[in-house]
């Protein structure tokens, strides 16, 4: 009989001994990623929730505040981390911001132009792109040496053991602007950036993949969070959108599964994993 012990879930998704960095790990998707990693054994170093109960798993250890849009801050963070850790195994680039909204509902070109002109600005577009795209690039570049250092302890057959997970969005894969032209365009750029970094950086034996979430509870979707930095997204609010086959928002554990899959599967590289409840089956992409 063929052995099956290697397929036990606790072995498939065990990240014991992993050192992980999560940017934007204090709320939303970033916090979900941090908790999933810590609960399964990793030491997650991020700007995060002190209320997490590891229950025998790893730790969530906050780092000093870091503005990921500034090179000086990124350099300082890497240097501070190098004093504590010789390597990292995973970088989750989850820091991001929303953008202004101008729903393009008008059929009259003059009215459409006036509405967008009044509600959107160059500054908003630049800030959105700088945070959601440019910072992802420079954050990844800054941590490349620590990521490569994480490969060595695991031997030549596990060369792709270190990886980067960017957090893009289903919004970057659809033609429907949802009124968020700047955000959707930026997330589309994050998708392309992920593919570029995966192809160009694989010479360093570092994988780069992306998770493209749909509607998950976060400050961005729910507009608020509680004292544990958790947000509530009622199913009826998602159902009102009319294009979510799952009829609800994503669950925290579903995001956690996605993070662990990409972190552990060394045969996956350059992929965009849409976790969207079927939205992209309904809205053209």
Domain boundaries, the chain: 7-282
Distances (CA, A) of 25 to 30, 95, 274: 4, 8, 20
In order of 30, 35, 106, 248, the CA distances from 218 in angstroms are: 10, 14, 30, 14
Which pLDDT score, from 0 to 100, does residue 258 have?
96
pLDDT at 225 over 50: no
pLDDT at residue 230, rounded to an integer: 59
CATH architecture observed for domain 7-282: 3-Layer(aba) Sandwich (3.40)
Q: State the average pLDDT over residues 260-284.
A: 95
Residues found in the chain: 285
Q: Is 6 helix (H, G, I), strand (E, B) or coil?
A: helix
pLDDT for the residue numbered 45: 63
CB burial of 136-171 (b: ≥16 within 10 Å; e: otherwise) equals bbbbbebbbebbbbbbeeeeeeebbbbbbbbbbbbb
- From the list 42, 183, 218, 230, the catalytic residue is 183
Catalytic member of 168, 171, 231, 258: 168
Examine the residue annotation and report whether 168 is marked as an active-site residue of this protein.
Answer: yes
- Higher model confidence: residue 100 or residue 183? 183
Out of 187, 198, 230, 231, pick the active-site residue: 187
Residue 50 is predicted with a pLDDT of 45
Active site residue 183: yes
Higher pLDDT, 165 or 226: 165
Task: Report pLDDT digits (tens) over 53-78.
Answer: 555 556 667 777 889 999 999 999 99
83, burial (CB in 10 Å: exposed 0-12, middle 13-18, buried 19+): exposed
Mean pLDDT of 230-258: 89
Of the pLDDT bands very low, low, confident and very high (cuts 50, 70, 90), residue 6 is confident
User: How confident is the model at residue 41, as a pLDDT?
Assistant: 82
Render pLDDT for 79-135 as a digit per residue (tens, 0 to 9).
999 998 999 999 999 988 888 888 888 999 999 999 999 999 999 999 999 999 999
The H or E element spanning position 272 is strand 272-275
pTM of the model: 0.89
User: Would residue 162 show up in a list of annotated catalytic residues for this protein?
Assistant: no
Lowest mean pLDDT among 27-36, 153-162, 184-193, 212-221: 153-162
Backbone angles phi, psi at 23, to 5 degrees: -85, 145
């Amino acid at each position: 009989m063929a052995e099956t012990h290697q397929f036990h879930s606790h072995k498939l998704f065990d990240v014991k001994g992993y050192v992980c960095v999560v940017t934007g790990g204090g709320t939303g998707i970033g916090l979900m990623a941090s908790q999933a990693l810590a609960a399964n054994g990793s030491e997650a170093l991020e700007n995060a929730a002190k209320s997490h109960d590891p229950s025998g798993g790893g730790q969530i250890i906050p780092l000093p505040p870091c503005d990921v849009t500034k090179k000086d801050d990124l350099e300082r963070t890497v240097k501070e981390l190098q004093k504590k850790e010789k390597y990292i195994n995973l970088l989750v680039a989850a820091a991001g911001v929303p953008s202004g909204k101008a729903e393009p509902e008008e059929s009259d070109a003059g009215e459409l132009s006036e509405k967008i002109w009044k509600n959107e600005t160059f500054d908003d577009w630049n800030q959105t792109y700088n945070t959601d795209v440019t910072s992802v690039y420079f954050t990844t570049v800054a941590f490349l040496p620590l990521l490569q250092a994480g490969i060595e302890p695991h031997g030549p057959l596990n060369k792709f053991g270190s990886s980067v997970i960017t957090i893009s969005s289903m919004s970057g894969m659809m033609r429907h602007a949802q009124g968020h032209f700047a955000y959707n365009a930026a997330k589309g750029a994050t998708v392309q950036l992920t593919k570029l970094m995966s192809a160009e950086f694989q010479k360093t034996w570092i994988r780069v993949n992306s998770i493209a979430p749909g509607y998950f509870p976060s400050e961005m979707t729910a507009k608020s969070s509680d004292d544990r930095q958790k947000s509530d997204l009622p199913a009826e609010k998602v159902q009102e959108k009319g294009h979510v086959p799952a009829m609800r928002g994503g669950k925290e554990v579903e995001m956690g599964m996605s993070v662990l899959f990409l972190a552990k599967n060394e045969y996956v590289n350059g992929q965009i994993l849409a976790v969207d409840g079927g939205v992209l089956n309904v809205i053209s992409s």
